[in-house]
Each structure stands twice: as structure tokens, then as C-alpha cells.
Chains A and B, each alone.
Chain A
């Protein structure tokens, strides 16, 4: 199915809502055309195009709710998905925590669409791959990468008058370049809404340079070090931590934001004074939809951490009602304040330390302290007297982002980075952090 415009999706939503006599009906419609090219060993391995449209229908009778989804849109299929949702709702037990759908909302559009990105074709993708393959071949290196572009629409509607429709484009490019003997490895990631902000040549050159510089890594003893963390090294750590900003978990005593004796730590200073993190759907570097699909409430520019203090927690509609808090749409991006300093300047100001360009396979070890474990990857270097002295072997770390954001010494200029495992668009600065805890060495390159 092609990318549908606002009037087409409005008609589908109205047809669906007219098919049910349930107390309420919530409709979500998502369609996307996603192209990709994947390459490895300096050859294209797979490439493809996916077009799909998904319709989700939730209906409720009193406090009983059921949801069904389908990807077919003829009259029979629309009827089928509505009846299936109705069946489920009739059979479901009452949910005492059921909250009726929100009423009509105003959504201020955000700039999530680029015509140029929507026009990307297989030739463009092949050319993006060719830049890194050809440059790698010239340098006797081996590259593997992935370029994907996505044009999509999201429509939300409910029987209380909510309607929202917006189109989005995104592209993501990642490339790993390795030396033929496997002793050096470099990586790069670029994400954008508008393809004119993307340069495959520039990105490939970054991965190539890191691969060449990371050969002959020396072992450094595990322990606590001053580190300079590039944005790709902290994005998932901070993302994991923000996923724990759930108000209900905190109030219920099962979060690092729970207070001894009950309640939460909203307003408490848990981080360094320099830490300011907020969400803003209209930020031009990391724009996201102006509503939250889950609650259908508008997103707002919201401070999450202000001057090191916890400034906001995430509330579900139910928990907001119970606690007497005004609910807002859950955030879809994350912006951390920085300075104008480059990573090179942070390095120049460092007597002894470790430069971490990327972290990998991060998992929560203990939710009580948000202790995370993971590894450095694709470019880790020893810094001495303001200069990168030599590459070092990768480390495993066991560290809490709460401690990390408490131990900040210096902050650089924010850069766009999409999380590997955390689904936020982010603007994060490189950071110099003391006492980062590396617990063992890894032989992996």
C-alpha cells in the first residue's frame, strides 16, 4: 500500500469507528516504505524494499478492552479486525485501572518529513554502500555496513474526536571497517531526517580512520579511569537510565528513583550540576511526532533533569489520575545540554585517560542502582598529556549512568546519535568523566 495522505487515513479511521457500537474506539494506522542495503566483506550482501501498513483497533465496553491489528484494508478485513477487537473486549475481564481515551487534542506539527529523503532510490543506496566499499578496498581494509531509509506516516484517531496525522522520514547509516588481519576496527553511525545532512563519504572516512588507528592495541589494567566518552558511548547508558524515570515504579518502591520510606525522588539532586536533559519534539536536529501514540496526549518541551535535579517523571494516564498529576505525552527524544568544545579539546585538556568511541551489549545488572554492564568497541585509545598515545584493548565496564553523570568533569558539543537499543533520537555531547569503572579486559577487536 502506498504512503497514505491525511484525507485517506481520516476516511479509513472514520470507516473503522463507524463499524463499532462499543463505548469507545481507538484507531492507529501506520504505513511505511523502507529501503535498505547491507554490505559486508566489501560486497553487497542483501538489499531490499519493504512496504507495509498496519491498522490497530482497540475497543472498550466499560472497563473491558481488546486490541486487534491487521495489515489488510478491504471492507471485509476492516470488519474482521473490528469484530476481533470487540470479541476480545467482551471476553476480557474488567480492568480496574482502565482509563477512558483522551478527548480532542491539538498537535503542533513538527518537521519530521523531508521530500529528498522520501525520494531515495536503490541507486542512491547502492552508491552510499559504494563509497565505503571503494574507499575500504583502496586502503586494503574490509568494510561492512548498513544504510536504511524510511518514509512513513502515523495516524491516530479515537471516538472522542482525536485525530492526528503526520509523515516522517528517517535514514540511518552504520559502517564498520576492519583491517584484513582483524587487528583494527573502526565504526561510524549517522542518523538524519533530511538526507541532505548525510554524507556517506565523510562517514566512511571516520570509520576507516578509526580502523587504521586502532591496530596494535595494548592492554591496560582494568580499574577506574578518567574517560572521554563520545556520544555513541553514552547514548544507550543514558537511554537505559531514562527508561527508569517511570513515576509509578518510583512511587511503588521499585526504582532507583524510589525514596526510602515511600514516595519518589522528584526534585532531588542526583547528578552533577552541569547535567541538563530535556525532551523537545520540535527540535530541528531530532524532531519526533508531536504526540505520544500510547496516550495520544501532545508532547511538550519538558525538562527531565535540570541543573542535576530530577525534574520530571513519566506518568501513565492511570497513575497521573491517581496521584493528581497533569499527564503529558511521553517523550520521544532526548537532548542534553553541552558547550561548544570539540572532543579534540576535551582530549587536549586530559593528562591521563581513556577515549571510548563506542559501547556495546549493554545490559541492566541491578535496577536498584541502574548498574549496567557492557563493553567498549571499535576504537578505544589511551590519552596522555592531552594526546591520543596509542590504541588499547577493549574493556568490560560495570557502571551506573547515575554515577557517570555525577562524575562529569567537562562537557563538549552535542551531536545527533540514535541509540542502538534505546529507541530515542538523541542529542548528546561528548563528556569527560572521572572514575569510570572498567572491570575486565576483552580480547575482542
Chain B
């Protein structure tokens, strides 16, 4: 059933009219000059306009449609060897000049406690440049009717297939970011991201049991063409247990599968706890990569800058300095990048004006590098920043955030079906589920959306109540096979939290289907009251 009442597309009006670069440059110069005059040795200015649209639906109803817009300026300075930051939504030359002076005053107040001098890796000013997310269909121009129709059709498909309830949402993000610094850069960027999460819930009132199945698709740094559902972007999971997606997504098909699978989960066998070989699909593994590889190799965590909140890291500098720390088995290679097209982390430049790049983090199982910003690069002997600086708003101070961190595909030809054939006692896991990891990233526990038992090389049926617990280093050293590049695709986290005050960022993680031997699986079923 499609939604019956609609008019024209949303008036594009000023959503589509970016603020003129000349205006932004003059505003940035007002802040740069004010900071320099107040005594700053360095200043960067970020002028941001953030446009979002969120649509929430439940069953056959559109619950809400919200457009948000936020504009303002953030000014970061170094004065007396310390950082200061101030932000304002007063976008007048006087307003930003005042914010710059406030930032200098804050830096001076902090300088008396500073014993570690700041070392900023050099960045070549790039003059006036621009970058935009490549897309063929701008979400801002897609009619609301089309978006709502798509979500309601998905919910209808899920309900028809067995769900008792369906919920789907559409998050659409446009960040218009202008960066200028005393290094001589004026960088204008236009970034687009999308995410369409859904949840199917099946209820059995007679047994008072319910189960859910969430979307198996990834959030992306793309335009609305992501929803084109092109046949060449569909792949079959091992054993044909479900359909998965690469560069475009069939929301309605996935919703239909979700409705059916949520219902099937009500009758699935409860897992016997013990050691299993795990076959992890990229739609699941991305989150394990994010938590157990992405976060511990953030240099600010390693150094202790996140000790009070997210924590520190087991991947310490002394381990890295040995050049022998065996993070994983020899087939494990992790690459960081800010460049992969369609990924959430793809940008032209980071929030310190550093061009996007790609580098090794773990090579042949050995920890070889971290994720660094300008003020951290010298600590690991790098001559320049990795370009990992990001702020989630004009009002937030930029700091080190995770780039895309991805597991390289296996070098030998191997499909997920061939991988399953080699497993005697295992579980095939798809989709992101519950996740938790300690503050130094040793001990973790993950669940998924779909679990299938593997016996003697065959998928025998669905399982429930599954979670695996392991230690990061043991887990990645238990990596025994990785499918080849034909199976490589990205998942992603749209709202990754870090920092105080907490900021969110969006990041993708790619992998092929991967096998881990002898991992501890627990049964999560409990009875209460």
C-alpha cells in the first residue's frame, strides 16, 4: 500500500543554495585576523551549515518528518602554547572576531597548566579548493512522497511476510563545511550521507515471546541512488540463507526478508554454549572491526587522552615499537583510509585541512601504525598527519576520529560457500547486534541479527540466543580464512560516539566473509519474574 496524500516535492528553496564561498572567506578572515591580533600563533576557523532530514515510520504510518538546519562558526587557536576554542552562531564579522578573542582568552587560561608543548605537523596551505561527495541523486531534491512511499512499502512488505510490527527510518545528512587556517587554506566541502535502518518485530502472544530482525544494509556516503536496488549489487549469503547488498540497497526486499526471518527466529533452536568456528559476514564483522581494531589504534586513546571516557588501549606504543606485536594471524591486514568512494569516512580534507589518504595499520598480522592528527604525528615518527581530525558540528572542537579501517580481502580465491564447507562445528553470523567491549579493548562480546548452525560443512538451520566473547588479540590470531575480494563490502556506524563533550562521527569498515576458529559462544536466554 502506498501513502495516498501528497503534493509536490519539498520546496528546495534555500536548502539548495549554499552560502557563497566569498562570504565564508571574508568571515573566516575576520576570525583569523582577530585571533592573530589577540596573540594566537595559529588559528583555524570552521564555518558549518548542517542540514538533516529524518523520516520515521511505524507500520503503515509516517510518524514524523523533521528538517533541521544549524549554522555557525567554530574557532580554534593556539596561544601561549595551549589550545583554546570558542564557537558562535552569530555569523557576523564582529561575532566571529569576538569568538576568536574568546578562544585566545581560553587558551591563555589553560596555558598555565600546560607542561607538554604542542607540536603541529606541518600542512601545506592549499589555497581555495573544494570537494564534494560524489553522487548522482541529491537526497535534498528527492520528493518527500517518494521517500515516504519507499519506507511504507518496506513496512508493508515486512508485515505481509510475518512481522507483527515494522519500523523504518531514513536519516539524510548534508554537511556544508568551510575550513580556513593561518596556514593559507580555504577549503569548501559538501558532504552527503544516508542511512535507512529498519526493524521487524515478530510477537507470539501465546508464548509471550518476541524477536526482532534489523536491516542488513550499510549506511553510506552517497546520494539517493543508493536505493536504486540494482540486481548487480545483490549477493547471496552462504547457503542462500538471505540476500545481501553492496553498492545499492533493495530496502523493500530486505524488509520482506526481515519480516519472515523475525518470525522464523521465534522457533529457532537455542544455541548450546561452547567453542565454535565462527563464519562472520561483513554486515556483522564491520562492528567487531570497529570496536576491536578501529578504536584501539586511535592514537589519542593509546596516549591517554580518552582515559576519562572511552578509555585507553592495549595496543600501546611499546608494543608498536617492537615491530613484532602480533595483533592477528599473518593473513590479517588492516588498512585505514579516508578515500574509499561511497564510504562514510570519505572526504577531501580533514578538519585540520589535511588531504585525505590511505595507510597500513596492521600488516601481515603486525601492528605497524595508528590513526593520528597534526599534533600527534611526531609521537609516532610521522612527518605529516594522517588526516584524522573531525568535529561533528561547527560548535564542537575537532579531535582525532576514526577513518575507515578495513580488513583486506584474502589473497586466495575463496567464496563464503567454500569457507563453510571447511567448518565442522560452527556458526554463521550476519548483521549487527549487541556489542560491548572493555575500556582497553581486550574483552568483547558481540551478537548479530541472524545465526545459522554449521555442521560438517553444511548450514543446518537457524540458531538463537547467540553471543560470542573473546579477547581482541586471541580473536584476530584465530582468524583462519578470509574470502577474496569478490566478497568484500563495507558496513558502517552512523553515530559513533567519542570525546567529552560527546561527539558523533560516521565511519565505514570493509571486509570479506571471515572465519575465526574456536571462539567461545554463550547462550543469552534468561528467565525473569
Contact = CB atoms under 8 A, between A and B. Distances in A.
Given A50-B87, A360-B438, A41 B201 contact: no
Nearest to A40: B305
B201 A254 contact: yes
A44 B65 contact: no
A360 B88 CA distance: 34
B29 to A, nearest CB: 22
Interface string A114-146: 000000001101100110010000000010111
A344 B426 CA distance: 48
B529 A402 contact: yes
B439 A377 contact: yes
B208 A72 contact: no
Nearest to B529: A270
B116 A43 contact: yes
A144 B307 contact: yes
A443 B470 CA distance: 11
Given A253-B205, A366-B524, A373-B467, A442 B442 contact: yes
A46 B436 contact: no
Contacts of B7: 90-91
Contacts, number: 297
Interface residues of B, number: 102
A349 B141 CA distance: 67
A72 B440 contact: no
Interface stretch (A5-13, A18-26, A105-113, A174-182): A174-182
B83 A375 contact: no
Interface residues of A, number: 105
B329 interface: no
A146 B308 contact: yes
Interface in A74-99: 80-81, 83-85, 87-88, 90-97
A253 B85 contact: no
A148 interface: yes
Given A71-B72, A254-B210, A366-B525, A374 B436 contact: yes
Contact of B438 (A36, A49, A259, A377): A377
B488 to A, nearest CB: 28
Nearest to B11: A87
Contacts of A47: 83-85, 106-107, 109-110
Given A47-B106, A122-B109, A1 B90 contact: yes
A321 to B, nearest CB: 15
Given A253-B164, A444-B442, A363 B436 contact: yes
B359 interface: no
Contacts of A259: 208
Interface in A175-219: 175-176, 178, 182, 187
Nearest to A377: B439
A279 B184 CA distance: 55
Contact of B529 (A145, A175, A268): A268
Contacts of B205: 253, 258, 260-262
Interface in B429-457: 434-443, 445, 447
B241 interface: no
A66 interface: yes
A41 B305 contact: yes
B525 A253 contact: no
Interface string A246-265: 00000011101011111001
Contact of A92 (B8, B62, B527): B62
B528 A403 contact: yes
A277 interface: no
B70 interface: yes
B501 A148 contact: yes
A38 interface: yes
Contacts of B494: none
Contact of A400 (B437, B441, B526): B526
Interface stretch (A51-59, A323-331, A383-391, A427-435): A51-59
Contacts of A94: 4-5
A92 B164 contact: no
A71 B10 CA distance: 20
18 contacts: A51-B87, A51-B88, A52-B89, A69-B69, A90-B7, A91-B10, A91-B145, A92-B62, A94-B5, A126-B112, A174-B500, A178-B307, A182-B312, A261-B206, A270-B528, A375-B439, A396-B445, A441-B443
Given A47-B84, A148-B501, A442-B443, 16 more contacts: A1-B89, A50-B86, A64-B5, A66-B67, A91-B144, A133-B113, A144-B306, A146-B309, A174-B308, A178-B307, A252-B164, A252-B203, A366-B526, A373-B434, A375-B436, A442-B438
Interface of B: 3-11, 13-14, 58, 61-72, 82-90, 102-103, 105-107, 109-110, 112-116, 143-145, 148, 152, 164-165, 201, 203-210, 212, 303-309, 311-312, 314, 395-397, 399, 434-443, 445, 447, 465, 467, 469, 471, 500-501, 520, 522, 524-529
The 6 A-B residue pairs with the shortest CB-CB distance in the complex, in nearest-first order: A442-B443, A444-B438, A48-B85, A444-B440, A93-B3, A144-B307
